[in-house]
Amino acid sequence: MKYRSTRGGMAPLPFCDILLEGLAPDGGLTLPQSLPRLDAATLESWRDLTYADLAAKVLGLFIDDIAPQDLLRMTRAAYSTDVFPRIAPVKPLRDGLSLLGLSEGPTLAFKDMAMQFLGQVFEFVLAQRNQTLNILGATSGDTGSAAEYALRGKRGVAVFMLSPYGRMSAFQRAQMYSLQDANIHNIAVHGVFDECQDIVKTLAGDLEFKSAHRLGAVNSINWARIAAQIVYYVWGWLRATQGPGQQVSFAVPSGNFGNILAGHLAREMGVPIRRLVLATNENNVLEEFFHTGIYRPRPASQTYATSSPSMDISRASNFERFVFDLVGQDASRVRVLMDELRQAGQFDLSALKPQFTDRYGFVAGASSHADRLATIRAVHRETGVLIDPHTADGVKVAQAHLEPGIPMLVLETALPAKFAETLIEATGEAPPVPDALRDLGQRPQRVEVMDCDARLVADYVRRHAL
């Protein structure tokens, strides 16, 4: 299995090489040269596997430069009961509508599902190659803590995580900033998430700086994150169906497009997925695209701070991978569109709009703060289940796309403890906090605060890189 760039300027590389590189050298994103196919017999043969063993099967389709026994050892370590006491349970809400519980890991967010595998595979590959790696990433809330918890104390890896100053919940900040491990560096930037991500892309795009400081990526621009997320779409389909061919729809709260992109790829591989329901908050650039065919990211000044802050994103870093498929995997067309985006601030694919649903199964909707409160309140009243505000966005939009006989799984993005303020506003009660995290707010915090300037971040990396 070899990998190429969405922009066509990279020689094919094996998995372990792209794992350590993040962005392709031409600024594009990596994808397999061709997707593996899953037939009904293969899917049925996996029905009784544990999550860890299923992960080894699915990831093994994309990774042929790591021995199968080593891959299985890594997935069993990543998805052990010590890390996930429960793993991806299906939680029924009402007829035809369920949650897929992806937030049972150490940071109470779905990002743990991929990050725990990344922690294992980074350490393995770096040890094999006798190399070190400095991870440079940006987070709007959950990626940062999931990456740091997965990589804390790992040999040969340092993490430099940018976050938007004052734009995350208190719980999210405490999860990240309370880590005291020497290889973890938190940097709070005066700006919004998109500006943090711009700094990451600027430094990763400086090939001399990237090479000199062995920069890698842990955001969902890293293909390994997407591959690991494909696993839970297969798992969810297996748990929600009784036999071959039955279709399932997935509703996905979406900001950076990585989570739902994994569903798109699972569908392309042959998993019987009926609809991919994209749910946004007030930062609805992606919803606008799927309704109009025009992709028009907004500037930082027009990116709203909302009560589902992990989705306060106006430029989706993974969207280019889907655009690559939309334009027939024509890398030259992707390059033209990315140039248009840089110069005009938008591009227009409205001529391809019929394909969005008919060919690829996408539908989309948006949710507001009032919608989130009403959804949290209604779900709690009707079922006794508490959901976080991002998951509430997914539930709200999913309800408009329910179809008889087609189970709808809403991907749970976080546990409500991470967003107590909104839960109290919705229900009048604080959500329960796991015992191990009850003192989180009282723990000492360590964070560097700086202006939104790539040069300042670069200087900090130079002084602290491995």
Closest CA to 325 of 32, 16, 1: 32
| Bridge pairing between strands 347-348 and 294-295 | antiparallel
Rounded Cα distance, 310 and 313, in Å: 8
3-class DSSP assignment, residue 98: strand
Q: Please say whether the beta carbons of 7 and 335 come within 8 A.
A: yes
How far apart are the C-alpha atoms of 90 and 81, rounded to whole Å? 17
Q: At what angle do helices 112-129 and 223-240 cross, to 10 degrees?
A: 140
* 198 residue type, one letter: D
Q: Which of 190, 270, 146 has its CA nearest to residue 448?
A: 190
Active site (annotated) includes residue 418 = no
Distance CA 195, CA 301 (A): 10
AA identity, residue 254: S
79 burial (CB, 10 Å; 0-12 / 13-18 / 19+) is buried
Please identify which of the residues 2, 57, 111, 201 carries the catalytic annotation.
111
**Secondary structure of residue 10 in the 3-state scheme:** coil
Helices (H), 241-362: 258-269, 285-292, 319-326, 331-344, 353-358
Residues forming the active site: 111
